[in-house]
Amino acid sequence: MKKTTRFLLILSLFAVMTSTVRTASAQLFGQPIAGVDVDAKGILQFRQFDPRLAQQRFAEARMRADSEIMQPSLLRKVSLNRLEAELAKQLEAGGTISDDMKALAGLTSIDFVFYYPDTKDIVLAGPSEGFVADPTERFVGIQTGRPTVLLEDVVTAMRAYAPNSKPTSVISVSIDPTPEGLQRMQRFLASFGGHAQRGDTQRVAMGLKNNLGLQTVTFKGIPNTSHFARVLVEADYRMKLVGIGLERLPVRVMSYVERANPHTIAASALTRWYFQPNYDAISVSEDGLAMKINQRGVELVGENERVINGARTRAAGKPNRASEAFCSDFTKAFPKIAEQVRVYAELGQLIDVAVAAAYIHEQDFYGQADWAMPVFSDESKVAVETYNAPEQVETAVNAIWRGNTLMTPLGGGVHISPRTALKSEHVTKDTDGMVGKTKSEAGPSHLKDGQWWWD
């Protein structure tokens, strides 16, 4: 009789997008710049770019850094309604959106939202630096390599919290198997009776992948064809690769599979991981005309689920300590990870962008400014729905022999509720007046005709 062994299979129920897309995440100085390509058949290919090309572009950009917009600034202010007015003039003259507009004058984060009643300016403010398109044609700062905040992402968020409209409650992406796929998976596993030979590893892995089949990608609050949506999908996808041990971060974070103890986790337990903001990060001036995002917090959280007859339910019982530890360490390391892996820096930016857009809507700065953002809200003039939409994904599987329990990290995503950050329990009143003082130190009253940003 052949000896058989119970197996521990780490299964990631997320996937490879079935549309063509180029995204990038990288440490931009000295190391290869990486990205992903996904063809129409859903085949994922990592791409790397020679770092010498990036260095050449950075050197050329620095040679042009004598222009005012390319100078670094601790606090650059961008008037959204002035920017729209200047963009409208360019488009009417037959022009296109310039790079300085696309890169929001080099903003690398949004730290403040201001409203100036005297001039009716709605302003985003934060640090900035000179910028350049890297080899993946994404804008990055020439001093730090950080991604710039993109106009298309700001516009996407503002449309979710548009003037005279009901605000979006949640911005999210979720990647989930179908009930039919889960049922097929259970039948397939039952056919092994909980036992398999080591030589069966690849057959088990491919059987699980084939039986689960394509999974569904669901977006809420934003168009699934936007860059905003693409960042959410990639951040979720890359995080799960880390969790199941298929990708290493430049910052040491033990994966879930490294931590998991097959003797302490129930065989039917499923683990779901998703990103959410740290909502306790807002300070608001006494008059409400200035808001500050105090810290950029992104949390990875997990929960246990079970699959019964193809349906997912919240699991009761003991917590999954390995999952909790993975989430905790990823959360603590997130700022350092974001410094080196660009997609996570972009995820943090998008959370801030969403909170800023929600604050503008909640305070009705649109109404106070008599601004309906007619250009930004018009897709024919400012296009943000420019990517192929990922609708279905293939399951990725990592099989590891280590014991006698089948563990399956399941689904996940990114879940952002920007208005939650603005609730009273999460907001600190700026009683010492520092936020309001920052707003008043350099207002827009001195701006020249057509000027939409200043330091």
Of the candidates 23, 426, 417, the residue with the CA atom closest to the CA atom of residue 220: 417
**What are the boundaries of each domain within the chain?**
9-446
Average pLDDT, consecutive stretches of 10 residues, N- to C-terminus, the chain (455 residues): 41 36 34 48 47 60 71 96 97 94 96 96 96 78 90 98 94 86 82 67 78 85 92 86 85 87 55 85 93 86 59 58 90 93 93 96 97 97 88 71 53 83 90 90 91 97
Q: In whole angstroms, what is the distance from residue 135 CA to residue 101 CA?
A: 20
Q: Model pTM?
A: 0.85
HEC string of the chain? CCCCECCCEEEEEEEEECCCCEEEECCCCCCCEEEEEECCCCCEEEEEECHHHHHHHHHHHHHCCCCHHHCCEEEEEEEHHHHHHHHHHHHHCCCCCCHHHHCHHHECCCCEEEEECCCCEEEEEEEECCEEECCCCCEEECCCCCECCCHHHHHHHHHHCCCCCCCCCCEEEEEECCHHHHHHHHHHHHCCCCCECHHHHHHHHHHHHHHHCCEEEEEECCCCCEHHHHHHHHHHHHHHHHHCCCCCCCCCCCCHHHHCCCCCCCCCEEEEEEEEECCCCEEECCCCCEEEECCCCEEEEEEEEEEECCEEEECCCCCCHHHHHHHHHHHHHHHHHHHHCHHHHHHHHHHHHHHHHHHHHHCCHHHHHCCCCCCCCCCCCCCCECCCCCCEEEEEEEECCCCCCCEEEEEEEEEECHHHHHCHHHEEECCCCHHHHHHHHCCCCCCCCCCCEEC
Q: What is the pLDDT of residue 9?
A: 43
Q: What is the pLDDT of residue 161?
A: 97
Q: What is the pLDDT of residue 20?
A: 25
